[in-house]
Homo-oligomer: A and B are copies of this chain.
Amino acid sequence: MTPHPLWLPAAATAHLRGRSIRVEGEHPLLQTVRAEATAAGMHPAEDGDVVIRPGAASTPDSFVLAVGDGNVTAEYADAAGALYAWFEIVRQGAAVFAGAGRRTCAPAHALRMIDHWDNVAVHPVMGQVERGYAGVSLFFDDGLLREDLSRVDRYARALASIGINRIAVNNVNVHEREVHLLTDDLPGIARIAAVFRRWGIRLHLSVSFATPLMLGDLDTADPLDDRVQEWWRATTTRVYEQIPDFGGYLVKADSEGQPGPFAYGRDHADGANMLARALASHDGLVHWRAFVYNHRQDWRDRTTDRARAAFDHFTPLDGRFDDNVIVQIKYGPMDFQAREPVSPVLFGMPHTRLGLELQITQEYTGQQRHAVYLGPQWAEILSFRPHGQTGSALAEGLGGGMAAVANVGDDPFWTGHPLAQANLYAYGRLAWNPRLDPAAILDEWVPLTFGDDPIVRSGIHAILDGSWAAYEAYTAPLGVGFMVTPGTHDGPSVDGYEYSPWGTYHFADRDGVGVDRTAATGTGFAAQYPEPWRSTYETLETVPDELLLFFHHVPYTHRLHSGKTVIQHIYDSHFDGVERVRQAMQTWEGLAGRIDPAVFERGRERFAAQLQSAIEWRDQITTYFARMSGVPDDQGRTYR
């Protein structure tokens, strides 16, 4: 089966067919633009309908788009700016020729990255793609690097079209086989890098901190050991010999069993800087993940709080990281739950380049069997104002840009659920411009992907627009998180992680539920925030309902700002959430005959699975809390 064209079907360039174009300048990326124009049915002309030329724009990747008299002129700052201008012209459709005016388009972040968690060898537990729900890797298959990279080329084009300019191609959990990507497999990696280069995307590798040990070259990986430093310098130089625009290293160190500097009594700055110095002369970066916590916690210990861990580990190191180190921080203090507060580390290290890490792959948000559009979640995070309404938004302080874990694989629809493509699209668009309205992004993505049928446009918009809120409603309540099946993280298991070493607890008992993270009586996590959030989260009167159980342990009869009790909210939101899935399913059914039958059928399968799963979530959660609390649902809907 031909892979789905994502948001770049032939129809997406119909408005350009037969028109003329002139692309000025010499650069491989400009060749890419010219080839794109030819493929779109344009012809070169001295005085084109579209002119792309060097000019007014100045910041990297940017361009100025001037429209008038039916002509479009894009003046680019650099060749990447030309490429992005091209895709802007594609994206705007026929309307691009109709307007008049001039505007500068520049990305909010220089680094707009995708992280793949792809393994080369199929991992016995995690499979080929860790937390992948869309088939096997586009790069690797069953122990080998793929020979045929045509699918990678299509993927790179789609990423370029939404502004992605960095990609890490392998899993941050670097296993035995994958260590060799950095050495023996370099020729293959260079082939992959060449495909991405054509689309303005620089390739990064995830590396194990213990690589010199694992390859048997040294008996230590101590970052302060001369031999280790020299090993990384020499190895890195060899990488650049084959991949001159290599992006750098992504590292998960001293986290969930991965090796790191702690083994040698060194800290994260020692570790990250050692790698950074091997990369610096090559314009390479270290992305050093802040996802560090004790994953062997004793559940009996109510004082240790995983939510505190990244802040406690990293903020004392603020100012010690080299300039080419980015500390990459998950959006929340736990792990990609449907709802968490924004991690205070993201604004707790003013002297460090910080990068935001999001998860496009739906590990905790329905595993691409549930239609869940994450744009609104990400927009909310990016617009969070760490110092209150008068301060700037989070997105404005991210010197390290953004990265997100990929949701694609060799599935014909790329993402398992065809509607999950929207998340990949929205991620790219928000990384470019965090102020975009996620609903508007939908209205941009739907016609690009599905065409102009107004019923399809409004139907898919209706399905996706409130889908994150619906998912939140029928899963774990009020920010409590982690009521998932251990291991797979698929489907509900209320107590699945309650007596585990993973630090993810809800502490439900017959009287109440939630985690006391206040400074007054709890773990003190709330005090990691600056004002006004510290007080907002600390106080029951001000904590937002959706984060209540993240910060407080409350009785079931506690009243939310909404006026409902916690227990009645649990019942209502779960029954309501399932009804919203039913409506989405009906809306999809109404699109039969209006969209590609293969897409429709795949969607139909997924909605059936989503409904079944949502009902299971609803019934397990409400039954659990009905049994626990003894408080009946005021509409009598729960089981016992």
Contact = CB atoms under 8 A, between A and B. Distances in A.
Contacts of A616: 499
B499 A630 contact: no
A495 interface: yes
Interface string A605-627: 00000000000100110011011
Nearest to A629: B510
A584 B623 CA distance: 41
Contacts of A620: 499
Contacts of A176: none
A619 B628 CA distance: 19
Interface residues of A, number: 23
Query: Which 10 A-B residue pairings sit nearest by Cβ, starting from the closest?
Result: A509-B627, A510-B510, A495-B495, A499-B620, A510-B630, A300-B639, A510-B628, A300-B619, A510-B627, A494-B495
Interface in A284-308: 300
Contacts of A494: 495
26 contacts: A300-B619, A300-B623, A300-B639, A493-B495, A493-B496, A494-B495, A495-B495, A495-B624, A499-B616, A499-B619, A499-B620, A499-B623, A499-B624, A508-B627, A509-B626, A509-B627, A509-B628, A509-B630, A509-B640, A510-B510, A510-B627, A510-B628, A510-B629, A510-B630, A511-B630, A628-B628
Interface of A: 300, 492-496, 499, 508-511, 616, 619-620, 623-624, 626-630, 639-640
A630 B555 CA distance: 13
A636 to B, nearest CB: 15
A616 B616 CA distance: 29
A551 to B, nearest CB: 19
A622 to B, nearest CB: 11
**Most chain B CB neighbours (cut-off 10 Å) among A499, A508, A627, A628:** A499
Q: Tell me whether chain A's interface is mostly helix, strand or loop, or mixed.
A: loop
Contacts of A624: 495, 499
Contacts of A499: 492-493, 616, 619-620, 623-624
A629 B509 CA distance: 8
Given A493-B495, A499-B616, 7 more contacts: A493-B496, A495-B495, A509-B628, A510-B510, A510-B629, A510-B630, A511-B630
A629 B639 CA distance: 19
Interface centre among A300, A495, A624, A628 (most CB of B within 10 A): A495
Nearest to A508: B627
Contacts of A300: 619, 623, 639
A616 B501 CA distance: 11
Contacts of A628: 509-510, 628
A511 B630 CA distance: 8
Nearest to A494: B495
A620 B505 CA distance: 13
A191 B567 CA distance: 66
A300 B616 CA distance: 10
A194 B207 CA distance: 55
A483 B300 CA distance: 19
Contacts of A626: 509
Q: Which of the listed residues A300, A492, A510 has the most CB atoms from chain B within 10 Å of its own CB?
A: A510
Contacts of A640: 509
A300 B640 CA distance: 8
A299 to B, nearest CB: 8
A614 to B, nearest CB: 14
A178 to B, nearest CB: 22
A498 to B, nearest CB: 9
A145 B53 CA distance: 72
Nearest to A620: B499
Nearest to A619: B300
Nearest to A510: B510
Contacts of A509: 626-628, 630, 640
A629 B510 CA distance: 7
Interface centre among A624, A627, A628, A629 (most CB of B within 10 A): A627
Contacts of A510: 510, 627-630
